[in-house]
């Protein structure tokens, strides 16, 4: 059996806003094994970032609050350990990269300084050792003339280069897990492919596990082993990537797959784009949150929110309807 690195159970995160309590994450559970890459997919605003930020307690508190759940990293619950302990996990055991490389680096600090910080902090390197290691790291992520570029500032790098720096920084201490929060969304298409390529190559060399967040099912196919689809703060379907593409079982997943331009719909079945907007939840729903947008909706969907349950080998879905038959399961 492979080693379980991360085991998240019943995670719930709220935000206190002037409009009311936003239920951003509503009892999310998932696991991540050694060497595995988990894709988390969903429209923007569905709680992907907050889920992963919660695991490292990086949600801004206030307004955020993690109200329930566990996030077990190896044998420690990251949500229960002290502030000092979790700091030693961040950057050292779990690295993170973010959506917008233009804003995720400190504009008034040199790349070199930002890159050496975790090395000095977690590995106890001297300035000089850290500098040398930084040059190596920049080389590894494919930045030419690395030793000259340490003294440069972020605005002197292009977007793609900055994301490479972020990757170097997140992997500087050889973490077990890399959390990548839509790292290609803000980049040009060609650069996107390069970044995905780079991460795949680094995964082969370093062997870390990855949680890859994206709203693009197309990207996830090329990198993930397993996919969790999120909607309104719930995971509504989870399956190995091939299974998910071959047999999406939640109407929302079907909609997401259909909206992919490159995927041809083989059967002449209903082709639809998902109408409407995902809801912001101010209350825990007593109906399926997708019901208002769902073409398969039945009576029961309006009175009871389905929980995630297994429908096959390592395939789980949260839907009352068997979309193959259109009838209640």
Binding site for other proteins (CB under 8 A): 53, 56, 58, 60, 62, 87-92, 95-96, 98-100, 103-110, 117-118, 121-122, 153, 155-156, 166, 169-170
CB 272 within 8 A of CB 295: yes
Residue from the set 29, 147, 258, 280 that interacts with ligand ADP by CB under 6 A: 280
CB of 24 to Mg ion, least distance (A): 11
Q: Decide if residue 45 touches ligand ADP (CB under 6 A).
A: yes
**Residue placing its CB nearer to other proteins in the complex, 38 or 53:** 53
- Residues 42-61 close enough to bind Mg ion by CB under 5 A: 49
> With CB cut-offs between 5 and 8 Å by kind, which of ligand ADP, other proteins, Mg ion, none does residue 50 bind?
ligand ADP
> With CB cut-offs between 5 and 8 Å by kind, which of Mg ion, ligand ADP, other proteins, none does residue 105 bind?
other proteins
- Residues 105-164 close enough to bind ligand ADP by CB under 6 A: none
Q: Which residues contact 193 (CB under 8 A, 6 or more apart)?
A: none
**Residue placing its CB nearer to ligand ADP in the complex, 102 or 123:** 102
**Per-residue tokens: 177:** 């897990």
**Residue placing its CB nearer to other proteins in the complex, 91 or 251:** 91
**Residue placing its CB nearer to other proteins in the complex, 164 or 250:** 164
**Residue placing its CB nearer to other proteins in the complex, 170 or 227:** 170
For residues 97 and 208, give the distance between their C-alpha atoms in angstroms, rounded to a whole number: 14
Q: Is the peptide bond before 216 cis (omega within 30 degrees of 0)?
A: no
Residue 54: how many other CB atoms lie within 10 Å:
26
**Residue placing its CB nearer to other proteins in the complex, 101 or 251:** 101
Residue from the set 6, 38, 39, 49 that interacts with ligand ADP by CB under 6 A: 49
> With CB cut-offs between 5 and 8 Å by kind, which of ligand ADP, Mg ion, other proteins, none does residue 15 bind?
ligand ADP
Q: Decide if residue 104 touches Mg ion (CB under 5 A).
A: no
Residue from the set 63, 207, 218, 310 that interacts with ligand ADP by CB under 6 A: 63
**Residue placing its CB nearer to Mg ion in the complex, 46 or 208:** 46
CA-closest candidate to residue 36, choices 171, 238, 207 = 207
CB of 49 to Mg ion, least distance (A): 3
For residues 37 and 29, give the distance between their C-alpha atoms in angstroms, rounded to a whole number: 16
Residue from the set 5, 48, 146, 224 that interacts with ligand ADP by CB under 6 A: 48
Region from 45-53, 247-255, 286-294, 296-304 binding ligand ADP, contact rule CB under 6 A: 45-53
Positions touching ligand ADP (CB under 6 A) are: 15, 17, 22, 24, 42, 44-50, 60, 63-64, 280
């Amino acid at each position: 059996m492979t080693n379980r690195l991360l085991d998240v159970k019943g995670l719930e995160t709220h935000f206190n806003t002037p409009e009311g309590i936003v239920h951003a994450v509503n009892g999310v559970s998932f696991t991540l094994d050694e060497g595995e890459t988990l894709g988390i997919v969903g429209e923007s605003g569905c709680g992907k970032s907050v889920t992963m930020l919660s695991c490292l307690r990086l949600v801004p508190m206030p307004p955020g609050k993690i109200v329930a759940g566990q996030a077990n990293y190896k044998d420690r619950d990251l949500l229960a350990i002290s502030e000092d302990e979790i700091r030693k996990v961040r950057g050292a055991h779990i690295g993170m990269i973010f959506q917008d490389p233009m804003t995720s680096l400190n504009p008034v600090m040199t790349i070199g300084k930002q890159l050496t910080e975790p090395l000095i902090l977690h590995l106890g390197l001297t300035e000089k050792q850290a500098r040398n290691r930084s040059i190596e790291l920049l080389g590894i992520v494919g930045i030419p003339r690395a030793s000259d570029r340490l003294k440069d500032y972020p605005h002197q790098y292009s977007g793609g280069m900055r994301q490479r720096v972020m990757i170097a920084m997140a992997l500087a201490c050889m973490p077990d897990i890399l959390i990548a929060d839509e790292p290609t969304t803000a980049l040009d298409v060609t650069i996107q492919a390069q970044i995905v390529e780079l991460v795949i190559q680094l995964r082969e060399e370093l062997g870390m596990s990855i949680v890859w967040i994206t709203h693009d099912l197309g990207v996830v196919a090329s990198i993930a082993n397993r996919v969790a689809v999120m909607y309104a703060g719930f995971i509504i379907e989870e399956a190995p990537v091939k299974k998910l593409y071959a047999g999406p079982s939640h109407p929302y997943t079907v909609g997401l797959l259909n909206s992919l331009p490159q995927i041809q719909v083989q059967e002449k079945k209903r082709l639809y784009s998902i109408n409407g907007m995902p809801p912001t939840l101010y209350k825990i729903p007593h109906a399926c949150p997708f019901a208002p947008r769902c073409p398969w909706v039945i009576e029961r969907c309006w009175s009871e929110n389905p929980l995630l349950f297994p429908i096959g080998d390592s395939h789980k879905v949260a839907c009352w309807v068997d979309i193959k038959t259109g009838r209640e399961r």
